[in-house]
Amino acid sequence: MMKMKSKILLFALLGVSVLMSSCLGEGSRNYSESSVTYIAMDDFSGKTFGRTLTGKTIISNEIQLMQAGTFKFFTYTWNEEDGTTPIGEILADNVIISGDPIDVSRTTVNMSEGPVQEEPRKFVGIDPPFYARDKFYLGDYWLFQYAYESQKGETAVIQYYVTDDPEANEDEINIDIQLTFTGSPEAGSSTTTKTDIIALNMTPLRAEYEGSSQTSTKELKIKFQYYLKGQEEPIKSQSYAMTVAGD
């Protein structure tokens, strides 16, 4: 069973709730919602479909043209008369997408120390990660929403680096989140606060620790560290669990 971890507090992309849903008919299963959706491919049929953060499996003509392994944000509607499409042992809802899907940026965790930042740019806020303990549901990606300040002409870049902590136990992982910018601020431009979402590929971390335990599974305790506006010392998050296979 897929288990979602954490909740998204800041999600206000496009001014709507990512987890918003509403029934279109009392007593029916009809729904309309907006969500970040992971685009997956069924190995047997070759069909491309979506797995939403709300736990739904969906499909449409547009989704079947999307690239597997990516994330999209869009609004979709399903009515019972639209029916379903079998994907293996699961029935995917035949949804209707409204508006243009928006790409969600992706990056991969770096298994090495990041560059030293003498004057690190600071986040305005970072939500706890949204992820599934089942690595298949979201393709082993963890979703983060973050807020930052920038000026016109600047483009934010966010990277994740596994850091060495001699005091940490072998099952404790520390990841440094660094915010940098490309481009140069335009003269006279004002500073504005922006919010964005990024999907972090945790596959390299899983590969590093799989098979390192004599038990059937091993639970890693992962903490994230980052700089927050108004704070001099880096913020250290709570611990999040990742279960990896043992021997």
pLDDT digits 0-9 by tens, 140-149: 999 999 999 9
Provide the residue ranges of all domains of the chain, joining segments of one domain with +.
4-103, 105-245
Strand arrangement of the beta sheet that strand 105-108 belongs to: 105-108, 191-201, 141-151, 125-126
The CA distances from residue 191 to 150, 187, 195, 198, 229, in Å, are: 5, 11, 13, 22, 14
pLDDT digits 0-9 by tens, 102-141: 999 999 999 999 999 889 999 999 999 999 877 899 999 9
- Token readout for 4 is 């979602």
CA dihedral 208, 209, 212, 217 (to 10 degrees): -150
Three-state DSSP at 82 gives helix
User: Global pTM?
Assistant: 0.87
- Given phi > 0 = left and psi -120 to 50 = alpha, else beta, which region is 96? beta
Superfamily of domain 105-245: NigD-like, C-terminal beta sandwich domain (2.60.40.2370)
Task: Report residue 64's pLDDT band, with 50, 70 and 90 as the boundaries.
Answer: very high
Q: Which of 40-44, 179-183, 185-189 has the lowest average pLDDT?
A: 185-189
Burial label, 7 (beta-carbon count in 10 A; 0-12, 13-18, 19+)? exposed
